[in-house]
Structure formats: C-alpha cells, structure tokens
Structure 1
Amino acid sequence: MQEALNPYIHELNGYLLCLSRLAGRGYSFGAHAYVVDADVDSFVSEVVATWSKGDEYIPASEFRYVGKSIIEYGELQSEITRYVMHGLLGPGKLSEAGRSAVAGVILEDIIEYYGLASTSINPEGVFHPPIKRTVHRLDIKNENYESCLFFVLQIEDIYVLTGLCKKKI
C-alpha cells in the first residue's frame, strides 16, 4: 500500500480536519489517497491492519474490516451532513435555514475536491466522482469509536479513503 500524492486530496484532508474541530470534541475526519494496487477488499484489509498497529501518535487498537456495500450519492450526502453538522455548526448555534445553507456549501466543497483530484490526474476525467462513480461504504469497527462513516472511491489510478468518526467520550 503506497500513499499517492495528490494536492487536492491533501487539501480535502485539511478541510475535513478543520470541520472536525468545528464539529466538536471527539470528532475526527480525514481523507487520504493511495495508489491502486489491489481490489477494494484487499486494500482496506491492509489499511486496517496498519491502523491496528498504531504509531508514535496513536496507540495500537484493533480495527476490524467487516465488509463493504455501495452507498448512493443521496445517502452519502446525508451521512456526511450527520457527522459534520455538530458543535459550532449544530442545532442551537445556527438557525435551521443557516444550517441547511452551510451544509449545502460544505457538501459542495467536499465533492469539488474529489472532482479537482480527478481532473488533475486526467483532464478529461470525471469531475464529480462521488456522483458518477461507485462509492463503497466500508464497515470498519473499533471499540474506541461510537460511530464512523468510512468510504472509498477509485479516481483513475488512486483510491481515496475518507473517514468521519465520533469517538466514545
């Protein structure tokens, strides 16, 4: 498993990290790109094994890959919104109209990063990969998290793995 350097996925990761801070304590969001060298199941199994080992910042913790399913774009939008619209973007902080408007802008921004990544690799590539390509929702378990949305999509010769999680507090 080799990480792929794509400036737009790197920017998406930074954007998601900022959103996780706005969502509040216990939220953790991110996205990373990897060179495609295996099928989705093999790729995710390798990623999960790496995560389970931990590193100098995160202690070892068992992650289990249970399987994948296809997630349609509308459901993906709803799930992303469910994680992002907390904390400073949550109820009581913004009006319902404000929350709806902010959620729309955030979703548009996120989808645009995937499109920019796609067209940076192939100028004739698909601009909205999460809308026009298969997105796999990953069922990954870890006892430290209350809930997570992990999904992966292939853009040209890279997999983009995105995760939005809420830790148990």
Structure 2
Amino acid sequence: MVDDGFGGSLNDIDSDNFVFNFDWTLSPRFALFGRYSYSRSDMDPVNPLIGGGTVRVQAFQLGVALPDLGRQGALGTISLVVPFDILAGRRFLVSGNGNGGTEFNLETTYFYPINTNIAIVPTFFATFNANNFSDNPTVFGTVLRTQFLF
C-alpha cells in the first residue's frame, strides 16, 4: 500500500516493470532456476504542496532443482529468495518498508509423488530480516502439503 508519504492520496501511478525468468537443465538430474524483477513507479500526490517521487523495488530468486530425486517424478529444490528489496521511495510505502534491512528466505521443498494423482510436498523455510527489518529475529517454518492432481 502506498500514499503520499503523509497519509494522503495519490493520482494515478505510472509504473514500469521488468521480469526475467530462466530455467536451465544442465543434466537429467540437475537444473538451475532464477527469477528477477524490477519495478519503477512514479508517485504523484493529489496535494500540490507535497512533492512526488519514485518508488523502485526489486526481487529475485536463485535455486537448484533435483529432478527424480529418490523416485521418478519427484523433485527437490533449494532456493534463496529476496521477495521485496526497496531501492528508493521508502517514504511512500505505508507498511512493510522496514528499517533498511533486506528480507531474504531460504527454502527447501520436496515434491514426492505417491501415485499419479497424489503427492506429498514437505517444505522447510527460514526467513531472515522479516518485513525488511534488520533487527527482526529469524523465522523458521515447515509446511506439509498433500497435493491432489486430477
């Protein structure tokens, strides 16, 4: 959510967004993947006494994929994610703008097919500098998902 930096409204926001994805299979059992995004948004406050500005953010993910790990059709992944790195325009962001820290996540996932229609997908993750606050403690979590494919 954004505002004019003082709780006021904005006119329409012009934004340019760039996204790049890649998947590179180096062998039948090893692949690399990644994503990068960059956004630039021009802020134009409704109040003419408040100057406008620009919000620039980026995000990226880099990972390793291990197809057929332990079983045909299984997939293990390990990835590092920076979901929202603020480069400029912090004053326009109402929440989640942090104190200058950069949140990053380390995640491991394992897709294990039980049969052609059911898989279990355990995930472990660690979030560092949560919500872009460098003094927030590290958050650890696990998820056990059952996936039904029909």
Check whether TM > 0.5.
no
**TM-score (norm: length of structure 2):** 0.24
Which has more strand, going by share of residues? 2
Which has more helix, going by share of residues? 1
**TM-score (norm: length of structure 1):** 0.22
